[in-house]
Amino acid sequence: MNQLEQLKQYTTVVADTGDFQSIKAYAPQDATTNPSLILKAVQKDEYKPLLEKAVRDNPNAPTGEIIDKLLIAFGTEILKYVPGRVSTEIDAALSFDVAGNVAKGRELIALYEKAGIPRERVLIKIASTWEGIRASEQLEKEGIRTNMTLLFSLCQAIACAEAGSQLISPFVGRIYDWFKKSTGIDYLGAEDPGVQSVKRIYNYYRKFGYKTEVMGASFRNTSQILELAGCDLLTISPDLLQKLADTQAPVERKLSPADTGTAVKISMDEKTFRFMLNEDAMATDKLAEGIRAFVADSNKLKQMISAIR
């Protein structure tokens, strides 16, 4: 078996793309999207018609509403190729707005259900700010499952688990980027700070019996992926899925529910969360940067829509 086939024995493989053809090629269980991936997709000739249709079918709708329809169009199409779930992201401009995230989560689920997609097949992606986590807590109580994104630290992971979030997406590659830039070291294998962060979160969840799923995300190389074999899920870009499929070397399970480590339980209230996040320069930097980048790409999408109208 190639490495991708071996990895699927230990971990649920998720495609991190808005490209239907890639999803079809690698047969993942789930798929994730974000504003940057949707923006990238609609610039391709084969996906531009989805954007044009969303604009054409909603001539008098506000731009934000057209973007929602576009997200649902992509998600609905993606679900034709995966047996599991699709993740659809709320506008990062709402990252510090509890009520705004809750309202948008409800709107997106309603659009999916109108399209004949049951809510169990959708994860609503929300930034892992304190406000985003509170919104997740509310949505989960309503049966709307959430995927907490832009997650870089243990305090974010604990707060999400205590809120009952369905899934978290710790960003391995962006943590690696920050430390590589900060230290000049090109980390490999188990020494990678992004890998270590996910292992710490995974073991913490196992030790204290949290049901929230851990999905490693934002990979820069296959070494990071292979070091997390055994994680609940891993969401992987098409180019790295191809590299795994092209390689025959053995894959060893690195994470197991039996590996709980020596963590001490932390009770997470707002003051503790904000202080721990503030003490973590990397997580503070990358969370802010990630929100800015997703907002920028959402704005580019809005400009594309305005140009078509």
Burial of residue 190 (CB within 10 Å: 0-12, 13-18, 19+) is exposed
| Alpha-carbon gap, residue 113 to 124, rounded angstroms | 13
Question: If we measure between CA atoms, which residue out of 202, 181, 184, 180 comes closest to residue 192?
Answer: 180
SS3 83: coil
69, 125, 254, 286: which is the annotated catalytic residue? Answer: 125
What DSSP state is assigned to residue 25? Answer: H
125 in active site: yes
Total count of residues recorded for the chain: 309
CA atoms within 13 A on the CB side of 186: 3
| Alpha-carbon gap, residue 100 to 98, rounded angstroms | 5
Phi, psi (degrees; rounded to nearest 5) at 150: 50, 50
Helix axes 98-114, 63-78, angle to 10 degrees: 50
- Strand-pairing partners, residue 123, are 87
Q: Which residues are catalytic?
A: 125
